[in-house]
Amino acid sequence: MFKLLALTLILSTIGAIAAEMYIPALPFIGASFHASDTLIQYSFTAFIFGSLAPALFFGSLADCYGRRKVIMIALVVGLLGTVGCLYSDSVYAFIFYRFVQGFGFSSTNGIGRALLRDHFEGKEFAKYSSYLSMAFALSVDVTPFLGGVIQHHFNWRAIFVFLFLFNLVSLAVAWKFPFRAVAQIRKFNLKNMFRDYKVICINREYMHYNLIATLMYSVFMAYLAVAAFIWETRLGLTPDDFGLLALFLSGFYVAGCYINSYLVRYGLEKVLQLGVFLVLCSGFILFSFALNDILSKLQFFLVLGLIFFASGLVFANASALAMSSINDNFASASALFSFSSVAGSAVITAIINLFNPTSVMPLALTIIILAIAAHIILFTLKNFSQVNYAEQSS
């Protein structure tokens, strides 16, 4: 059990760590390349876009040939992207290698979730997902803090040295892990891949929960896209302070995950609805602050704390409800789940990058719109379930 959770944690976090650790250093990276804030922001978007389509292929390959080979290939490609970022001599090279990083790490989170689904389902899956989410939050949210410390004492390239070493450790752990053999090795081809994804996509229950997770993940990524600029440029935090603040915010997420592990006994969907409602409330509170131009460090921190807490109620349950509706091709279903989240967040971050990164209003409106959309999907799903129940009873 420990080995399974350890590997799942590594696979689930390495992409997020690579995406987020350099965020406190973004203004400094832009200055070193003599690039504008808007241009250097696209290194974040490039990572997200690099994570898109490959995830679908890697997920299908993992169902065909097993998890080990696909994971090793993904980690090696991610390693190449990390080395490229480390030795980049222009902002455009840096953005390109961030894309390569995203390409490599595109499948790790999805396959990590598939490994967990190989062993658990339903409420048990949700429970272990909550535990994993707590560990995920602690490891991921420590990285901006660590990134800020490294930037303060060394420079931004040292951050990618750390990522390089962590990537090597991940390769070693994955190499030694005793993966389960696939039930039946089958030849990979595009026709079978699209057929598998078609079967998954017509599963309405899966797609509803997938879309809710995508919308809520986009809220999180929209914040990350502008976080350094709001906290450091507008509110005056140092990179060290920003990283420490991210560490404190993770406490709200961990609290949400911990409470969720107990609340799931009352129904996964009810807890999911509560989480989405809290995100919507956060959006309106932030909107009122932005409208009156009275945002303080404490106000922003508390609003974000509520969002992080609500995320702890949303992600594990949306994932559990979606994956429990699938009977086979877990890696493909998990890859599509990750793909949808990344694709949605890529669009949202690309849009929010068009606005002033120090302005809070675009972020507030983004949160409100995404949370309302998630509520509409939940309402649609509830009506769909009631219609199905009525048809089965008649």
Q: Which of 35-49, 286-300, 377-391 has the highest mean predicted lDDT (pLDDT)?
A: 286-300
Averaging pLDDT over each range in 123-132, 140-149, 217-226, 281-290, which range is the top one? Answer: 281-290
Local confidence band at 137 (pLDDT 50, 70, 90 cut-offs)? low
Residue 116 or 262, more confident: 262
| pLDDT for position 291 | 92
Q: 3-class secondary structure for the chain?
A: CHHHHHHHHHHHHHHHHHHHCCHHHHHHHHHHCCCCHHHHHHHHHHHHHHCCHHHHHHHHHHHHHCHHHHHHHHHHHHHHHHHHHHCCCCHHHHHHHHHHHHHHCCCHHHHHHHHHHHHCCHHHHHHHHHHHHHHHHHHHHHHHHHHHHHHHHCCHHHHHHHHHHHHHHHHHHHHHCCCCCCCCCCCCCHHHHHHHHHHHHCCHHHHHHHHHHHHHHHHHHHHHHHHHHHHHHHCCCCHHHHHHHHHHHHHHHHHHHHHHHHHHHHCHHHHHHHHHHHHHHHHHHHHHHHHHCCCCHHHHHHHHHHHHHHHHHHHHHHHHHHHCCCCCCHHHHHHHHHHHHHHHHHHHHHHHCCCCCCCCHHHHHHHHHHHHHHHHHHHHHHHHHHHHHHHHHC
Q: Lowest mean pLDDT: which of 44-58, 66-80, 177-191, 358-372? A: 177-191
Rounded CA gap, 250 and 183, in Å?
Answer: 38
> For position 319, what pLDDT does the model report?
83
Lowest mean per-residue pLDDT among 23-32, 130-139, 217-226, 308-317: 130-139
Give Cβ neighbours of residue 24 (< 8 Å, ≥ 6 apart): 144, 147, 148, 151, 228, 232, 239, 242, 243
Give the model's pLDDT for residue 328.
Answer: 73
CA 17 to CA 21: how far, in whole Å?
A: 5
Note the pLDDT tens digit of each residue in 59-91.
Answer: 777 777 777 888 888 899 999 999 999 999 999
For range 205-211, the mean pLDDT: 92
Q: 394 pLDDT band (50/70/90 cuts)? A: very low
More confident residue, 242 or 43: 43
Residues 325, 112 contacting (CB under 8 angstroms)? no
Q: Is the pLDDT of residue 181 over 70?
A: no
Per-residue pLDDT at 286: 95
pLDDT of residue 126: 67
- Report pLDDT digits (tens) over 87-123: 999 999 999 999 999 998 887 777 777 777 766 666 6
Range of lowest pLDDT (18-22, 73-77, 81-85, 187-191): 187-191
d(CA 131, CA 262): 11
Q: What is the pTM of this model?
A: 0.72
For residues 51 and 361, which has the higher predicted lDDT (pLDDT)?
A: 361
Instruction: Return the higher-pLDDT residue of 243 and 164.
Output: 164
Give the pLDDT confidence score for residue 182 in this predicted structure: 60
Query: Angle of helix 297-323 relative to helix 108-119, nearest 10 degrees?
Result: 50
Q: Residue with structure tokens 């971050």? A: 349
Nearest in space to 151 (alpha carbons), one of 142, 138, 141, 160: 160
Q: Which amino acid is at 273?
A: Q
| Distances 337 to 42, 217, 333 between C-alpha atoms, Å | 24, 11, 6
* Per-residue confidence (pLDDT) for residue 255, from 0 to 100: 87
Mean pLDDT of 120-148: 71
Q: Which amino acid is at 24?
A: P
Q: Residue 242 and residue 50: Cα distance in Å, rounded?
A: 26
